Structure 1
Amino acid sequence: MVAVAESLKPATLTIADRVFDQVRQAIVQGEIPPGSKISEPVLAARYGISRGPLREALRRLESTNLVERRPNLGARVISLSNDQLLEIYVIREALEGMAARLAAERMTEDAIADLQRLLSQHRSEVERTDWQTYFQQEGDLDFHFQIVQGSGNQRLIDILCNDLYHLARMYRCQFGMKSDRAAVALKEHQLVADAIAERDGELAEWLMRRHIRTSRRAIERRLQR
């Protein structure tokens, strides 16, 4: 894993590492909106760095599919069409379903206990928002991320946690974490986790696929408004 799973200690972070994390977060949270042109002088001034580390950070952002370069247009934040966004959910449905099945077979008991503790934390956080907001921080604090990691399949991890992860987070933030699905999504997560704990891979896959399919249909309804 490169993008999210890096667990670098603060002392070992390079300037490019720090700027990569900061710009990535700004893009995902919408501070730098989809389609925005990336201005190297502006970003260099904003983060107080030279152009060298910034260019290295931008190259890494290209590798995570958050930034794209086009001839004569320079670098821009990726902007997906509605169809492209929904395609990501179709891919996630298939691949995360597979990841859930593998996780039921391969996750250690300690990892499953960590997953259950994470959901307890999420439940407390959702309760504090009166069951209206379900915000997940990235990486190990993200339910889906933990399950993909638990699959033990490196190629699957690369696809879901490097190629698609930040794109999915960006649009999740764009549509907002506040949703009438917050309580339902949490319940769906718990059902998946329980199936994994019971080592029922077939059920875990079916539940995960249903969960992501339901999320996709909710987004489709919002796009049609």
Structure 2
Amino acid sequence: MGATEDDTQGADTFRTLADKALAQLQEDIVCGAIAPGTKLSETRLAERYGVSRGPMREVIRCLESRKLLERTAHVGTRVTSLDPAALSQLYYVREALEGMAAHLAATAMSEDEITAIQELLATHERQQDIQRDTAYFQYEGDLDFHYRIFEGSHNHALQETLTNEIYYLLRMSRYRYSGVHKRPQQALAEHRQIVEAIAERDAELAELLMRRHISRARRNIENQIGDQ
């Protein structure tokens, strides 16, 4: 027996509600509105985001796969909390993988892709926080410089590792630690240098600049943690 029109509409509604709740909860976790280590209740989350428990259960599973939530036996589900050592280790991994992505992007990105990422950085430059040199926030996906580099590598295995394993954890850390004094404009300048190397098809330089860029970000985070 095939699916009826009502069945299809019901499935679409379920999908839409789940997608909306996923986007809202994910953003609340990434930006720190729900703090790391917070214990979550499926029932309360469903009420908070206006969905039934079925869609919310799916949302929780998705955020677990993105490493933003952790489920522990006899404890329940909590927002992932990275201690300083784990965060430092994550950035060492990021340095290696994104360096590789930049290297590959220098040979794989099309001219249109390079133009698009240059235009993205021009958009970033107009952000008031950047102009005041107080913060450098980027929306996820195609509005994120680093995500564009992942995509520009045209290496599916690398993209999967970066986007599914560490991307959202990195977004959490970037939200929390992106306001280092005089770092935002410097970070934007480093992004431009990376893109210039890619545009020149200098893969070794693109990788070197990306690794230096992420190494500086790691040291800034370690310094902030040390000052707390």
TM-score (norm 1): 0.91
CA shift for structure 1 position 59: 0.4
CA shift for structure 1 position 12: 9.8
The one-character-per-residue Cα deviations of 1:118-155 (angstroms, maximum 9, x if unpaired) are 11111111576422221111110110100011001111
CA contact (8 A) 1:131 1:182 kept: yes
Question: Is residue 2:146 matched to residue 1:144?
Answer: yes
Q: Which residue does the alignment assign to 2:189? A: 187
- Counterpart amino acid of residue 212 in structure 2: R
CA shift for structure 1 position 14: 2.4
Larger C-alpha radius of gyration, 1 or 2? 2
- Please, which of 99, 114, 135 is the counterpart of residue 97 of structure 1? 99
The one-character-per-residue Cα deviations of 1:69-117 (angstroms, maximum 9, x if unpaired) are 0010011100111000111110010010000010000001100000000
Aligned mates of 1:177, 1:56 — CA distance in 2: 33
Q: Which residue does the alignment assign to 1:118? A: 120
From the two aligned structures, give the one with the greater helix fraction. 2
Q: Which residue does the alignment assign to 1:15? A: 17
SS in 2 for 1:136: coil
CA shift for structure 1 position 177: 3.6
SS in 1 for 2:132: coil
Superposed CA RMSD:
1.7
- Please, which of 207, 213, 216 is the counterpart of residue 215 of structure 2? 213
TM-score (norm 2): 0.90
Q: Which residue does the alignment assign to 2:7? A: none
Change (3 A) 1:203 1:11: farther
Q: Give matches, 1:169-180, under 5 Å.
A: 169-177=171-179, 179-180=181-182
Which residues of structure 1 form unaligned runs of 5+?
1-9
Q: Percent identity?
A: 49
- Counterpart amino acid of residue 139 in structure 1: G
CA shift for structure 1 position 19: 1.1
Which residues of structure 2 form unaligned runs of 5+?
1-11
Q: Which residue does the alignment assign to 1:57? A: 59
Change (3 A) 1:11 1:107: farther
